[in-house]
């Protein structure tokens, strides 16, 4: 009797599967990998996008958090999964444009197809409440007064803020002490307690404690903080962003990518999406596949240069 049950169940599965194959994409729920734990920045961006995207595609989007090592685990998983459009990922730049230069990984930028950019988060340089400087100019003077005068926080060695600080200090001709932390919480604690004097993070993180904001990494000033100058205005050549979008494994058919992109355009323009991002002080921004890829390739080259200069390339 038991065998009969199993056989009939198997039969049902076969029937269902052949039915699936006959129709067009998408015919079943889509799994969206987020390579960071729930509640993180990327996760929130994914959760903001998922309902709109699901509505446009006519199938629910299931968010699966596969956190770990700055996004390596989830990205590796995506690169290995079937390129049928039922496994997609919302990824920021760092796992794709920084980590492959630092660790020996099984994927590169070419392991993925780019679908569309969905958000572009600026970074903000903030000072601690006890820091002896309140503007960028004062920060530069203080940092140059003697070597290692400034201690700065980052989310870990080789994280985007760490690379940015390396670049800032190189351009202003000073040296600072890097103190790595795990996650945003400990960094906020360190800057409030005076362990570090500066940190770089998203506007939502740094604005909760009324920290003095020194500069913003964006093309133009942010609407939510109009008094904070951009890095360009301050005369530094620093392009940095924490932007992200939908990617799929390389080899995904064109038709699937096109369907996803059409839905993505609509979803990024939807009111719900824009409203959630505004609350998180993040900027929605849609870019089509080619420009999205270009942006990441450029970022990758820039990061490679910084990492090489800092001597952080992996040992052969």
Interacting residues toward other proteins by CB under 8 A: 2, 13-14, 17-18, 20-21, 37-40, 43-44, 47-48, 62, 64-69, 72-73, 76, 81-82, 84, 102-104, 106, 148, 151, 156-158, 177-183, 185-186, 188-190, 192-195, 204, 207-210, 276, 279-280, 312
Residue 4: Cβ within 10 Å count: 8
Question: Torsion angle, CA of 80/86/89/90, rounded to 10 degrees?
Answer: 170
Of the two residues 8 and 103, which places its CB atom closer to other proteins in the complex? 103
Kindly report each contact of residues 223-231 with a partner whose C-beta sits within 8 Å and lies 24 or more positions away, as own/partner.
224/281, 225/124, 228/124, 229/136
Of the two residues 191 and 234, which places its CB atom closer to other proteins in the complex? 191
Of the two residues 37 and 262, which places its CB atom closer to other proteins in the complex? 37
Shortest approach of other proteins to residue 41 CB, angstroms?
A: 9
Burial per residue of 234-252, b for 16 or more beta-carbon CB atoms within 10 angstroms, e otherwise: bebebebbbbbbbbbbeeb
Shortest approach of other proteins to residue 176 CB, angstroms?
A: 11
Of the two residues 171 and 224, which places its CB atom closer to other proteins in the complex? 224
Shortest approach of other proteins to residue 67 CB, angstroms?
A: 5
Shortest approach of other proteins to residue 290 CB, angstroms?
A: 30
Shortest approach of other proteins to residue 81 CB, angstroms?
A: 8
Shortest approach of other proteins to residue 276 CB, angstroms?
A: 6
Shortest approach of other proteins to residue 116 CB, angstroms?
A: 22
Lay out the sheet containing 213-217: strands in order across: 176-180, 150-154, 198-201, 123-127, 213-217
Of the two residues 81 and 135, which places its CB atom closer to other proteins in the complex? 81
Of the two residues 14 and 301, which places its CB atom closer to other proteins in the complex? 14
Shortest approach of other proteins to residue 158 CB, angstroms?
A: 5
Instruction: Return the closest-CA partner of residue 293 out of 247, 255, 261.
Output: 247
Of the two residues 293 and 306, which places its CB atom closer to other proteins in the complex? 306
Of the two residues 17 and 145, which places its CB atom closer to other proteins in the complex? 17
């Amino acid at each position: 009797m038991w065998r009969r049950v199993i056989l009939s169940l198997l039969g049902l599965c076969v029937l269902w599967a052949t039915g699936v194959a006959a129709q067009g994409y998408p015919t079943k729920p889509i799994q969206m990998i987020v390579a960071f734990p729930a509640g993180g920045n990327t996760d929130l961006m994914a959760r903001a996008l998922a309902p709109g995207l699901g509505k446009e595609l006519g199938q629910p989007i299931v968010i699966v958090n596969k956190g770990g090592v700055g996004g390596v685990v989830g990205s590796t998983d995506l690169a290995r999964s079937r390129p049928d459009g039922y496994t997609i990922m919302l990824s920021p730049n760092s796992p794709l444009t920084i980590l492959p230069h630092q660790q020996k990984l099984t994927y590169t930028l070419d392991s993925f197809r780019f679908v569309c950019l969905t958000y572009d988060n600026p970074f903000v340089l903030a000072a601690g409440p006890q820091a002896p400087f309140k503007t960028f100019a004062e920060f530069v003077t203080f940092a140059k007064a003697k070597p290692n005068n400034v201690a700065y926080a980052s989310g870990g060695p080789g994280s985007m803020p760490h690379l940015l600080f390396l670049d800032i200090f190189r351009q202003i001709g000073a040296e600072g002490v890097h103190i790595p932390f795990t996650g945003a919480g400990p960094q906020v604690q360190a800057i409030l307690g005076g362990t570090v004097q500066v940190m770089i993070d998203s506007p939502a993180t740094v604005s909760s404690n009324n920290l003095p904001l020194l500069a913003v990494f964006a093309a133009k000033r942010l609407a939510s903080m109009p008094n904070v100058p951009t890095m360009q205005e301050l005369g530094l050549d620093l392009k940095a962003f924490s932007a992200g979008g939908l990617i799929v494994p390389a080899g995904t058919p064109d038709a699937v990518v096109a369907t996803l992109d059409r839905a993505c355009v609509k979803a990024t323009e939807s009111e719900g999406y824009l409203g959630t991002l505004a609350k998180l002080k993040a900027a929605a921004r849609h870019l089509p596949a080619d420009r999205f890829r270009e942006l990441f390739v450029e970022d990758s080259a820039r990061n490679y240069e910084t990492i090489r200069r800092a001597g952080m390339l992996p040992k052969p």
